[in-house]
Amino acid sequence: DTEVTQTPKHLVMGMTNKKSLKCEQHMGHRAMYWYKQKAKKPPELMFVYSYEKLSINESVPSRFSPECPNSSLLNLHLHALQPEDSALYLCATTWAGSTDTQYFGPGTRLTVL
Amino acid sequence: GESVGLHLPTLSVQEGDNSIINCAYSNSASDYFIWYKQESGKGPQFIIDIRSNMDKRQGQRVTVLLNKTVKHLSLQIAATQPGDSAVYFCAENAGGTASKLTFGTGTRLQVTL
């Protein structure tokens, strides 16, 4: 099973709202990632969790707050977002090695009004 | 800085013909390369990968070629089908403690009937 699931599929929120994105995998992978993808652009790395600890933060604004409650779950908490944060948010997972394939979820399409 | 780029933003191919999508990379330390296919509204889907100790790898209808001398990567799709229409990204991994990928800019493949 190489499935990574993400919920919700679509999310519309106002700039004062607080919402969360969820990513789940049951492949036993120990590294999990959040990416942001704007239209017609490649995915941009935001955060990396390795063995449930944050290992990389690509200078992401604090209005994005990641959380890894356990090895199967990855959350992205959103607060006070801006319209320019509207994008497709992708979760990916891998075994944990530096040369392991990353498997992506379907993404959450976020619109900030 | 280091980057991964593509020569052609859009490639139009007739159904049944072979497609070749190219990618240039600049980080000579990269030791793992992946091709992803992304259909509209979906997350990137793994197609094929290759490690730096190889120069060719074949899958079902797809072949990846790696030329380390000129830092060039290509994806060949045999007998292109309408279902192959998508954006294709190459990605490189320079190693390290986490599998951090750098994506190319992407090529849109359009299959005409």
Which tens digits make up the pLDDT trace of A79-111?
Answer: 999 999 999 999 999 987 656 789 999 999 999
Which tens digits make up the pLDDT trace of A59-77?
Answer: 999 999 999 999 999 999 9
Alpha-carbon distances of A19 from A45, A75, A110, B20, B59, rounded to whole Å: 20, 10, 10, 42, 41
With a pLDDT cut of 70, the percent of chain B lying above it is 88
CB contacts < 8 A, A to B, total 65
pLDDT classification of A46: cutoffs 50, 70, 90? very high
Backbone angles phi, psi at A3, to 5 degrees: -95, 135
Q: Tell me how crowded residue B113 is: count the other CB atoms within 10 A of its CB.
A: 6
- Contact (CB<8Å) B100/A96: no
Residues A30/A96, Cβ–Cβ less than 8 Å = yes
pLDDT classification of B2: cutoffs 50, 70, 90? very low
**Interatomic CA distance for residues A104 and A27, integer angstroms:** 12
**Interatomic CA distance for residues B18 and B111, integer angstroms:** 10
Chain A residue at shortest CA distance from B10: A40
Residues A33/A93, Cβ–Cβ less than 8 Å = yes
How far is the alpha carbon of B29 from chain A, nearest alpha carbon, in Å? 12
Which tens digits make up the pLDDT trace of A10-23?
Answer: 999 999 999 999 99
Q: Tell me how crowded residue B55 is: count the other CB atoms within 10 A of its CB.
A: 12
Is the pLDDT at B4 greater than 60? The verdict is no
Tokens 């990137």 found at? B44
Task: Identify the residue with better confidence: A55 or B8.
Answer: A55
Type of residue found at A72: S
B49 at A interface, C-beta within 8 A: yes
DSSP-assigned letter for residue A84: G
**Interatomic CA distance for residues B46 and B87, integer angstroms:** 12
Which of B42, B57, B100, B107 would best serve as a mutation to test chain A binding (most A beta carbons within 10 A)?
B100
- Contacts with A4 from chain B: Cβ below 8 Å: 43
Which tens digits make up the pLDDT trace of B70-96?
Answer: 999 999 999 999 999 999 999 998 765
Six token digits for residue B42: 């979906």
Six token digits for residue B4: 């991964």
How far is the alpha carbon of B40 from chain A, nearest alpha carbon, in Å? 10
Of A42, A20, A19, A43, nearest to A33 by C-alpha is A43
**Interatomic CA distance for residues A48 and A55, integer angstroms:** 6
**Interatomic CA distance for residues B23 and B74, integer angstroms:** 6
